[in-house]
Structure 1
Amino acid sequence: MTVLLPPSETKREGGDAARTLDLGALSFPELSDERAAVITAARSVSSEESTARTALKLGPRSVSERLRNLELDTAPTLPAIERYTGVLYDPLDAPGADDTTRRWWSDHVVVQSAMFGPIGAGDHIPAYRLSHDSRLGALRLAGHWPGPSARALARRAAGLVLDLRSEGYRALGPVPEAVTLRVVSVDGGGRRRALNHWNKTAKGRLTALLARTGADVGDTAGLLRWAGEHGVVVERTDDGWDLVAESLEPVHV
């Protein structure tokens, strides 16, 4: 089983100062050239505040984040699963996770980064500022990442691929055969509506529960079986797969 997550705009600062970025040590080392090209382009647009504001879509409060891209080679690193914060990653409580949970993440979770392409949950990365729709001059992320990322993911993925990425990040590494979950809320009359902001929380809770239960899921039948055992409502629909948010209240995680 492979779980694909999006990154987060917000990132935890700090890390291991003695362990700086090593592109060759990241998962999918065959992407080192593509990663180096993005880093070079990101460093270029980040060198001046005026260009960084437009390229990275920075506001007055976040404009200083451009400096992260100038220090990628020397900045301290953290495992990706700890680096990212926000509504999807907070339910994971990665800094407080035990070794068994961390091993599950390392074995099963891949994050689709705009800067580094697909990376493993345990890969050590610095803080940076780049989104799937950032503008890097002649280098277009929408043209740069999809082919190499898709091939790298296809070589790794064995069995079920559970795609929890947002649309913009799915486009950077397409996996056509993946199970893509739509997070929905069900009202008292049984009517369903797709969620926007809160869908990230549900995906975080789902990933946390998969890890903490040591889920061993090889196909869709196994996913449905695991979900039933843990009170999670996952259902096949006419146009895809639904995850009912209410079935992933914190008490279940």
Structure 2
Amino acid sequence: MFILLPPSEGKADAPRRGAPFDLERLTLPELRDARRAVIDDLVKLGADPAAAIETLGIGAGQVGEVERNARLETAPAMAASKVYTGVLYDALGLATLEAGAKRRAAKQLLIFSGLWGVVGVGDRIAPYRCSIGIRLPSVGPLAAHWKRALRGVVDGLAGDELVLDLRSSAYAGMWTPVNGVTVRVLHGGKVVSHFNKATKGRIVRALLESGARPRTAVKLGETLRELGYRVEQPRPGQLDIHVEQL
């Protein structure tokens, strides 16, 4: 089973020293040219902060994000598991997993990104600012860029494995799994937003710790029930997780 995660809006600060990223050593190195095109655009935008702010959809007070993008190629890199922060990643707690669960995370988790396309949690990347909904000067709309680049490539990686898709809608458009299942989090019969991320992080952690490898949505639902979740399957390819406390 593969588990697809969105990136986080917030990123950790880069370490003070260390080697930069190496495109040849990232998950799916065949995405090298697609990644290089995005990197080149972001670095060039660094020379024109006003244009970069408008392109990235950020405020003037976030000019530091533009400067960070401009230093992408020389900035010290670190594991993606340390770069991404926020509610989902805090609840997942990758750093505190036992050794076996960490090994499973390295094999099963795929993070979708506006800059990198797809990375594994162990891939060394530089912190950045680049949401999937933007349009870059040369690359054009990022969503379309990655949809073209990922077609066939991720299919080959996923094969016929079950894919638990926990991405937000914007990132889900980058690639559609054949054998995929999505999750909604409900409280009192209503879909929740903020706590949706925390619940999904806890679900991923529980699955990694259990070592379960269900191959169908039905089996995944059974596994989650065994892990203590109240689960319904309203339609094929979707699971609803009902939580009592937020």
Q: Same fold (TM over 0.5)?
A: yes
Q: Does 1:146 align with 2:147?
A: yes
2:231/2:242 contact within 8 Å kept: no
Aligned partner of 1:181 in structure 2 is 183
Q: CA deviation at 1:231?
A: 1.0
Structure-2 separation of matches of 1:37 and 1:60: 25
Aligned partner of 2:166 in structure 1 is 164
Q: CA deviation at 1:152?
A: 1.7
Q: Does 1:62 align with 2:59?
A: no
After superposition, residues 21-60 of structure 1 pair within 5 angstroms as 21-60=21-60
Structure-2 separation of matches of 1:19 and 1:177: 37
Q: CA deviation at 1:81?
A: 1.9
Residues 235 and 147 of structure 1: is their aligned pair in 2 closer, same or farther, counting only changes over 3 Å? Answer: farther
Structure-2 separation of matches of 1:8 and 1:64: 17
Residues 32 and 120 of structure 1: is their aligned pair in 2 closer, same or farther, counting only changes over 3 Å? Answer: same
- Listed as ranges, the gaps of 5+ residues in structure 1 are none
Residues 97 and 16 of structure 1: is their aligned pair in 2 closer, same or farther, counting only changes over 3 Å? Answer: farther
Structure-2 separation of matches of 1:13 and 1:166: 24
| Structure 2 SS opposite 1:183 | strand
Amino acid at match of 2:223: W
| Structure 2 SS opposite 1:61 | helix
Superimposed CA distance per residue, residues 143-166 of structure 1 (whole angstroms, 9 cap, x where no aligned partner): 211122132211111410010000
2:2/2:163 contact within 8 Å kept: yes
Structure-2 separation of matches of 1:223 and 1:114: 29
Aligned partner of 1:222 in structure 2 is 219
Q: CA deviation at 1:110?
A: 0.2
Q: CA deviation at 1:232?
A: 1.5
Q: CA deviation at 1:240?
A: 5.0
Identity %: 34
Q: CA deviation at 1:194?
A: 1.4
Residues 97 and 15 of structure 1: is their aligned pair in 2 closer, same or farther, counting only changes over 3 Å? Answer: farther
Moved >6 Å (runs of 4+): none
Structure-2 separation of matches of 1:39 and 1:176: 29
Aligned partner of 1:86 in structure 2 is 86
Q: Does 1:204 align with 2:205?
A: no
Structure-2 separation of matches of 1:222 and 1:16: 45
Residues 150 and 199 of structure 1: is their aligned pair in 2 closer, same or farther, counting only changes over 3 Å? Answer: farther
- Listed as ranges, the gaps of 5+ residues in structure 2 are none
Residues 88 and 131 of structure 1: is their aligned pair in 2 closer, same or farther, counting only changes over 3 Å? Answer: same
| Structure 2 SS opposite 1:162 | strand
Structure-1 separation of matches of 2:179 and 2:55: 33
Equivalent pairs counted in the alignment come to 244
Q: CA deviation at 1:108?
A: 0.3
Structure-1 separation of matches of 2:175 and 2:202: 23
Amino acid at match of 1:141: L
Say which is worse superposed, 215-224 or 124-133, in terms of deviation.
215-224
Q: CA deviation at 1:176?
A: 4.6
Structure-2 separation of matches of 1:17 and 1:102: 25
Superimposed CA distance per residue, residues 64-122 of structure 1 (whole angstroms, 9 cap, x where no aligned partner): 11112111122122211221001111112223333322211111000001001011121
Residues 128 and 236 of structure 1: is their aligned pair in 2 closer, same or farther, counting only changes over 3 Å? Answer: same
Superimposed CA distance per residue, residues 27-56 of structure 1 (whole angstroms, 9 cap, x where no aligned partner): 101100000001111112232220111111
Aligned partner of 1:231 in structure 2 is 228
Residues 16 and 219 of structure 1: is their aligned pair in 2 closer, same or farther, counting only changes over 3 Å? Answer: farther
Aligned partner of 1:73 in structure 2 is 73
| Structure 1 SS opposite 2:87 | coil
1:160/1:219 contact within 8 Å kept: yes
2:217/2:236 contact within 8 Å kept: no
